Structure 1
Amino acid sequence: MRSRRAGRTTGPHLRPRLRRHPRPRRSRGTGTRTRTRTRPHTAVLTAVLLLLAGPAGCSGPGARPPADGSAPDAGSRSPSAATGGEDGAGHWRPKPGTPWQWQLSGRVDTSVDVPVYDIDGFENDAETVDRLHADGRKVICYINAGAWEDFRPDRDDFPRAVRGRGNGWPGERWLDIRRTAVLRPLMARRMDMCRDKGFDAVEPDLMDGYLNRTGFPLTARHQLAYNRMLAELAHERGLAVGLKNDLPQIPELVGSFDFAVNEECAEFGECAALTPFVEQDKAVFHAEYALDPDDYCAESERLRLSSLRKKLSLDAWRRPCP
């Protein structure tokens, strides 16, 4: 849920998840932001967790990041570790537990010794992707699929009619995902960009607008249709695709996606809801911002999540589970 304003030197607009009952705001610089994914209705998510019969929280021993914020890279594994294979249609499918790096801010540090990188699709060129491939990495292309951004080069292609309420970030507005005839070709061009730069997969962001106050009467049915459309567009281009958050709809969507990307399932007691991906031998790339690794790493290992701690800036710093 992060986007980076082109040409800025202060890093991305940090985008914690928006929740229907937001927690106290975190501050960054002179502004404040709430989390970017709304917290689903408690009854809905509880039902999902009970259905999966898994533990809701994550706890256990792990490594604590240094107090000075430095970033020892303990726990990284070599990219020679198995990253998965291909499904029947030839799409890359990362396996559970595959180590990863998620960097959407600053020049990509290609020295992090992990098999999977998730980086901004607009901000990085084919040369960066080629360099990572030469080192044996798979590379995921981050794009925003749920909000209009006034700092992207294709901003004028989005009609005003599909731009809804602001989502808490300057220059960003929720998209009317019901308007698939308008949005499909726009998202197709973004995925063309990912394919043409050589990316292996795509991470579409803001895939749970129906849980937010968008200015449009979005329903779960609209979101399912839109998310399946995004998966179809990616697969048509030979790209793997990840489901970002949207925990309540995992049972309906797990078959359409090749992996999951999740923020803070440990902090909010939601990690068990991701079990369907692991059961289908698909990776769950998981990041926490506030918790110490000793609060979630043991449970992440048990659930076979690819877990790490990141700063909200999503720069190169990372603290993976050992």
Structure 2
Amino acid sequence: MKHLIEELDSEDWHTAASEIQIYLRGKLLGSDGLIKSVRSTLDDERQERTEACKRDFAAKNDLDGLDDRVNEFLSTLKTINDRVQDEIYFDFPVNAQRIKDLLPLEEGLEQIFAHVLEPNELSPVAQFRLNAILCRVLNASLGQSNKSNAGNAGEFMAEAILNAAGLTEGRDYRKQYKSKKGSDTDYVIPAVDDFRDHEVDAFIAVQISTNDRARLASSELKTGAKKYLVTGNGTDAASKALKDIGYQIIADYRENLVLIVCHAAEIEREKARLRSKLRANPRDEETRSRLEYVANLTLSFEAFAKRMRDNFAKP
């Protein structure tokens, strides 16, 4: 490893950089990687703050103003998760020391971490390239973690809304329902056994931030019951808006009566955007069709929660 590190300041630095990167990915990433060990040291505080956020949301039982509360809830969750990500990415020297304190390192990692903790022995070029390699590997780790965090946030969002509506898990709804066809459904109402599609009143798919991935939800939403896609699109924590969902997906949702549930302000923004496009081009039938869908087959979080309460909540 020492030779490869020194080769970072040579004409053959590409080969050395590639070999170091492969080595680091094998040692730092994955279920047995050292970054997971670091993440576990930060996870207790993250889970504690997440549970506090969920308790604070649940303490307010009034459905009025639910859209703003969900928006704030998702923003708080994102802040909690981003803090852990930032500590891993931006504070790697501290984390390198944490790893060294947790377990003995093999020689290759020991040499790399030595240059991270005491960056004095390498030339500026070699040090820059070694740091860049570490950044690339860390980015790969954070990308996978972001996907996991998004999935968890979507689950927390859906359950917060259903619980606020007065529904109880295990009685009024359940998650990860299995059908004979298609993908597992994130949530169904009521809490029926697997493969009992004829007893389901509502299929609910959840995507915290979606564009054409909304197509994947179609296999979760079976025929014979109400179908909903609950999404955080348009909230402050989401990177996507309703406009990012492709026209053909919206057309399929319209044909199959799939309702999109999202932030009330985002629904109004999308309607305003589509009306503006129609004023500029009144003959744009795709825009007209999309506007009809948004106007008639979308629900705010509050409207969705009240519908769930009125139809499914038990005293």
Normalised TM-score (structure 2): 0.31
Q: Which has the higher contact order (CA 8 A, sep 6+)?
A: 1
Structure with larger Rg: 2
